[in-house]
Structure 1
Amino acid sequence: MTRFTLLTAASAFALMGCNAPSDTEAAPAPETQAPASGMVAAANPDAVQAGLAALRAGGDAVDAAIAVQTVLSLVEPQSSGIGGGAFMVHYEADTGEVSVYNGRERAPMSADEDLFINPETGAPYPYVQAWRSGLSTGAPGAIAMLHMAHSDHGALEWSENFDFAINLADQGFEVAPRLSNISQRMAGFTDMEESGAAASYLFDANGEAWPVGHVLTNPDYADSLRLIAQDWRNFYEGDLAQAIVATVNEAPRPGYLTEDDLANYEPEKVSALCSPYRSYQICSAPPPASGGIAVGAILGMLETFDMSAHGPETADGWALFIEASRLAYADRDHYVGDTAFVDVPVEGLLDRDYLAARAGLIDPAMAIPAVTHGTPPGADEQPDDATNDQPGTSHFVIMDADGDVVSMTTTVESPFGSGRMVGGFFINNQLTDFSFVARDEEGRLRPNAVQPGKRPRSSMSPTIVLDSDGAFELATGSPGGNSIIAYTAKSLVGMLDWGLSPADAAALPNVVARGDTVNIEEGFDETLMAELRARGFTIQGGRGENSGIHIIRELEDGTLIGAADPRRDGIAAQP
């Protein structure tokens, strides 16, 4: 089959906190500009075409989201899939309502705070052993969440939204550069005998990843989608559910997921968490997602500075962004967890006076020596965080012909999730987003400790921005583990303060400041980097950060501009 030309630059890959060097400076992001008639921006051209097909058939943005997700699960399985979870932010043009659909995975009801403690040693499992195991899998939420959103907004029949992915799985798709590259990088973590179906799917008989352009079919995935298209409950009950549970509970290190955990999974719909920024409202997902809080906090602190006077070509502009990021991450790390289990001071963390006080700690001429969390209004004393966040995930944005918008971040967590495959798709390792060590030295339970039925904290930051009249302005978001927060905030500052186009905002070098170290992507101006070091910042330069920003922005005349991050294989296109 013929595939659309990939508009891409060299992609970067990060695994377990080790960022691979980028081969080239990021090129301008692929950008599409045309009058409003709907748009899709996602990390793979096949997924974009699936979304566009749904829109052409008269589908809503949610119909297109189902089509996009089911294709991403096939062509970009290293990042997301139906065996994982997601957060969707939805804007309804007729009412101006912004809602969040929470499809985050839940811990099995038989899991406890010692989930990742090796019973033989009494110490936490090394990350790789925890990741490549059944222990890491939570009850997947993507399908249930998409069905809930479809019940509210879908214009097409549920089953129609699976046709594109089913046909692609049966007929074959061409392996994209990123899938081939990451498969090869994963070879060192893959025991060919132990990995079974996953190994035979990703590698040839010699253990080499399929090359770019190789046509790969997945009839098992097509069969799974046919079951789900008939009835979404077929994912959570019956033969497919039994197969998922059996795979999770295989040795070594079997998990705790049961058929009841799947059958009882329920997504949630809540109001978006919106915070002001200059003349805009920035709307994202509330906890257990941390993007709504952390991105809102970064911007809330930056609002006290004239960022338009300190652009991306200045050390002051980046110093302000770095310090606001460090302070926001410190609060996010300390306080955020699943609000069904933990008291999170959401309003306090976004309180304007509190953020102004935090911003008062910032002097762009001199780095804060050591950043600590603050004490926002309504906060109780909490033990320190001990979560080891990992990179992964995919993000896409969609607008339909009626002006409804979806901004959705979706993930199986680490590359290829737990590494276990069933029904043609990979199963998540989302539970490694919990803290492996549940209690601090005083025996207090950490906010992000494992508990039965709990959702792990997420960095996902799907974002929709409204203008001063409450109308849609733009949608953005990114994958990238805990760096998602910085990537998303960078794109917003780039567009709203620095006047950049979506393409230029996505292509800006990534700057991630968490704790006392600043990771700066290759391609960043060396003179600016030297100046930042002179101001006391500890910088790791020339590091490849793994963003995948996708953006849709609507101009005053109704023109849509879409952009895809040049670090991945994506495009933005219209019906």
Structure 2
Amino acid sequence: MIRYLVISLFAFTTACSSLPDVGLADFHLPFRGEAVAQESGPAMVASANPHATEAGLEALRNGGNAIDAAIAIQTTLSLVEPQSSGIGGGAFMLYYDAASGETTVYDGREMAPASTHEDHWLDENGEPLPFLTAWTSGRAVGVPGVIAMLALAHDDHGARAWSDNFTFAEALAEDGFAISPRMQGFMVRVGQMRDVSTTPDMQAYFFDEEGNAWPVGHILRNPEYANTLRHIAADWRYFYEGPLAFDIVDAVNASPIPGNMSVEDLANYRPAIRQPLCRDYRDYEICSAPPPASGGVIVNEIMGMLENFDMASTGPDTVEGWRRFIEASRLAYADRDEYIGDPAFTDIPVETLLSDEYIDARAALIDRDTAIPDVSAGEAGMPGTSHFTVVDHQGNIVSMTTTVEFLFGSNRMAGGFFLNNQLTDFNFRARNENGELTANAPAAGKRPRSSLSPSIVFDENGEFVLTTGSPGGASIIAYTAKTLVGMLDWGLTPQEAIELPNVVARGNVVRLEETFPAEIATQLEALGFTLDANRSENSGIHSIRRLEDGTLIGGADPRREGVVGELTPPSAE
């Protein structure tokens, strides 16, 4: 069964690229090995940073619900994990309301300014800008959507005052926090990749007068961000209509390669409310975000193809289990690249892509003894990111993937936070070889295609089973699907599924994480797969699963600094 419907665009019709190998293998992550599965009472938070997890727990302790915790987590991540997400970016939130049994998608994806056109990423010679040039340009910044989205979700479901959800991050910004090895490693790498003097706010924030990145353990304070949070806590519209809006526009439109954002672009931004995209998988129903997020379609397409096979009998220690996963991923990614874009601008064949007939035909291509020589899209009838999850005491659930796109977004700052570079998610060439506009071409007011895949799984009775998701750009889809297969087919705990080696199969090259078993890799090569091994796949999967007795067990990705936090029932505290 497929369920897909846009129910509201909130008064206006309206992941993230994968980080490269940034060479952080030599940096010790202080929480590696401590992010273990935990059984708990009825409330749990799993996020990519211990400060953020504590912010969510504090919100729950003080009368908040999952939505309130999400606001506290997001505003804290913006401070302590700015390389990945922040209030200057966007997000998709999947929310399950326990009282009504309804699941809703809140779409806070960034939008292109009104000045955007199909040649947005072409230089004066009609050639696409190199990515590293585009990355920090003003043209890269989309109108941020996460604050407006959180405000809408809070209006609908929040349990405590909006302003109360900002106090944790505000205090942390004022008092300061110790720079972690992971954050410091990214600071160093940015300094190696580009001339940070072109973004003076970032230079002053992260580097000393000699141009050296602050060391691990340095107490980083951000009173400007604390002041921004105080204003947003008083009225969220300050972000879009107050003095901060003018600061954002000034930062975007500054040299080099300025953008052309206006204060009207900010004032006109509206989040979207959408129905989740859900499809049956064996005895479960998997729900995720619909387009412009590609995760809901493509994760479900991968899982739908795998449903044709007995995955339980081919576990993670077999070549056949991984071969099937790889081929399903390759086929689904080809469809993603061809068909998915902003549904306000592009007709997307969602029903066809997830129909039994189409998926069975794609799955038939997997039923072979060697690698598919080449993959292409099927005939469907038409031509830095972070993830966290919360289950509160009432059983409400948030699965939210949030992003500023590449490393520290555009590297441009306003109000003490980083602005996204999300418009680099558009196709740099708007037209294909036939001269036709692609589904993900730049356009005014358009949301770029996203790979965000926040997911909630229900059983055949509609009861909550698990929630999961990941950062990682286009690789998000593979990370999320791997975790679902691990838990639903291979019987793994959230932590065990998260710690499976990541395998990303897009096109004709299969990327294997360095921990992937060498003997299985050798067998895959013998079957004809082209492997790119020994890579650092920078996932950040966070999952919570409900056990049969109603207790919760969580998992946090040891590839980041995340932890799982639990709360016992209020009456037992």
CA distance in 2, matches of 1:221, 1:508: 37
Larger displacement relative to structure 2 (401-410 or 93-102): 93-102
Aligned length: 549
Do residues 98 (structure 1) and 103 (structure 2) align? yes
CA distance in 2, matches of 1:485, 1:19: 21
Instruction: Tell me, yes or no, if the aligned pair for 1:19 and 1:545 is still in contact at 8 Å.
Output: no
CA distance in 2, matches of 1:361, 1:440: 26
CA distance in 1, matches of 2:361, 2:23: 37
Partner of 1:404: 396
- In structure 2, the CA distance between the partners of 1:25 and 1:344, relative to structure 1 (3 Å rule), is farther
Q: Of the candidates 120, 133, 137, which is equivalent to residue 133 of structure 1?
A: 137
Partner of 2:200: 196
Partner of 2:494: 502
Displacement of 1:331: 0.6
Displacement of 1:17: 4.5
Instruction: Tell me, yes or no, if the aligned pair for 2:24 and 2:185 is still in contact at 8 Å.
Output: no
Partner of 2:127: 123
CA distance in 1, matches of 2:461, 2:274: 22
Q: Percent identity?
A: 58
Partner of 2:443: 451
Partner of 1:488: 480
Alignment of 1:57-456 (within 5 A): 57-119=62-124, 121-363=125-367, 365-376=369-380, 379-380=381-382, 382=383, 392-456=384-448
> What secondary structure sits across from 2:564 in the alignment?
strand
CA distance in 1, matches of 2:183, 2:147: 23
Displacement of 1:203: 1.6
Instruction: Tell me, yes or no, if the aligned pair for 2:335 and 2:377 is still in contact at 8 Å.
Output: yes
Q: Summarize deviations over 1:251-275 as a string: whole Å, max 9, x none.
A: 1111011100000000011110001
Partner of 2:61: 56
- Which amino acid is the alignment partner of residue 64 of structure 1? A
Do residues 469 (structure 1) and 461 (structure 2) align? yes
CA distance in 1, matches of 2:428, 2:205: 31
> What's the TM-score, normalizing by structure 1?
0.93
- In structure 2, the CA distance between the partners of 1:461 and 1:213, relative to structure 1 (3 Å rule), is same
- Which amino acid is the alignment partner of residue 133 of structure 2? Q
CA distance in 2, matches of 1:339, 1:493: 28
Partner of 1:543: 535
CA distance in 1, matches of 2:535, 2:40: 38
Displacement of 1:129: 1.0
- In structure 2, the CA distance between the partners of 1:29 and 1:462, relative to structure 1 (3 Å rule), is farther
Q: Summarize deviations over 1:316-358 as a string: whole Å, max 9, x none.
A: 0000000000000011110000000000001111111210110
RMSD, aligned CA = 1.6
Instruction: Tell me, yes or no, if the aligned pair for 1:393 and 1:481 is still in contact at 8 Å.
Output: yes
CA distance in 2, matches of 1:37, 1:213: 34
Alignment of 1:520-539 (within 5 A): 520-539=512-531
Instruction: Tell me, yes or no, if the aligned pair for 2:24 and 2:182 is still in contact at 8 Å.
Output: no
Instruction: Tell me, yes or no, if the aligned pair for 1:553 and 1:561 is still in contact at 8 Å.
Output: yes
CA distance in 2, matches of 1:23, 1:253: 34
- Which amino acid is the alignment partner of residue 313 of structure 1? D
> What secondary structure sits across from 1:199 in the alignment?
helix
- In structure 2, the CA distance between the partners of 1:209 and 1:19, relative to structure 1 (3 Å rule), is closer
Displacement of 1:109: 0.6
CA distance in 1, matches of 2:174, 2:273: 34
Instruction: Tell me, yes or no, if the aligned pair for 2:404 and 2:422 is still in contact at 8 Å.
Output: yes
CA distance in 2, matches of 1:364, 1:524: 23
- In structure 2, the CA distance between the partners of 1:403 and 1:413, relative to structure 1 (3 Å rule), is same
Partner of 2:8: none
Instruction: Tell me, yes or no, if the aligned pair for 1:32 and 1:573 is still in contact at 8 Å.
Output: no
Do residues 517 (structure 1) and 521 (structure 2) align? no
Instruction: Tell me, yes or no, if the aligned pair for 1:25 and 1:523 is still in contact at 8 Å.
Output: no
CA distance in 2, matches of 1:169, 1:409: 22
Displacement of 1:25: 12
Displacement of 1:20: 4.2
> What secondary structure sits across from 1:328 in the alignment?
helix
CA distance in 2, matches of 1:221, 1:23: 31
CA distance in 1, matches of 2:193, 2:424: 16
Displacement of 1:16: 5.8
- Which amino acid is the alignment partner of residue 47 of structure 2? A
Displacement of 1:208: 2.1
- In structure 2, the CA distance between the partners of 1:301 and 1:25, relative to structure 1 (3 Å rule), is farther
CA distance in 2, matches of 1:342, 1:29: 45
CA distance in 1, matches of 2:22, 2:207: 24
> What's the TM-score, normalizing by structure 2?
0.94
Displacement of 1:58: 1.1
Q: Summarize deviations over 1:10-30 as a string: whole Å, max 9, x none.
A: xxxx97645648469997672
Q: Summarize deviations over 1:74-110 as a string: whole Å, max 9, x none.
A: 0000000000000000011122211100000000011
Displacement of 1:66: 0.2
- In structure 2, the CA distance between the partners of 1:252 and 1:23, relative to structure 1 (3 Å rule), is closer
Instruction: Tell me, yes or no, if the aligned pair for 1:396 and 1:407 is still in contact at 8 Å.
Output: yes
Unaligned runs of 5+ in 2: 1-16, 568-573
Instruction: Tell me, yes or no, if the aligned pair for 2:19 and 2:472 is still in contact at 8 Å.
Output: no
Instruction: Tell me, yes or no, if the aligned pair for 1:28 and 1:504 is still in contact at 8 Å.
Output: no
Displacement of 1:122: 2.0
- Which amino acid is the alignment partner of residue 448 of structure 1? N
Displacement of 1:174: 1.1
Displacement of 1:146: 0.3
Instruction: Tell me, yes or no, if the aligned pair for 2:21 and 2:535 is still in contact at 8 Å.
Output: no
> What secondary structure sits across from 1:358 in the alignment?
helix
Q: Summarize deviations over 1:274-332 as a string: whole Å, max 9, x none.
A: 01111111000000000000100000000000000000000000000000000000111
CA distance in 2, matches of 1:525, 1:24: 23
- In structure 2, the CA distance between the partners of 1:197 and 1:509, relative to structure 1 (3 Å rule), is same
- In structure 2, the CA distance between the partners of 1:98 and 1:314, relative to structure 1 (3 Å rule), is same
Instruction: Tell me, yes or no, if the aligned pair for 1:21 and 1:542 is still in contact at 8 Å.
Output: no
Instruction: Tell me, yes or no, if the aligned pair for 1:22 and 1:542 is still in contact at 8 Å.
Output: no
Partner of 2:3: none
CA distance in 1, matches of 2:28, 2:52: 26
Instruction: Tell me, yes or no, if the aligned pair for 2:35 and 2:557 is still in contact at 8 Å.
Output: yes
Q: Summarize deviations over 1:428-467 as a string: whole Å, max 9, x none.
A: 0000000010112322111000010000000000001111
> What secondary structure sits across from 2:237 in the alignment?
helix
Unaligned runs of 5+ in 1: 1-13, 383-391
Instruction: Tell me, yes or no, if the aligned pair for 2:27 and 2:185 is still in contact at 8 Å.
Output: no
Partner of 2:9: none
CA distance in 2, matches of 1:553, 1:210: 38
> What secondary structure sits across from 2:555 in the alignment?
strand
- In structure 2, the CA distance between the partners of 1:66 and 1:40, relative to structure 1 (3 Å rule), is same
CA distance in 1, matches of 2:159, 2:149: 16
CA distance in 2, matches of 1:433, 1:333: 12
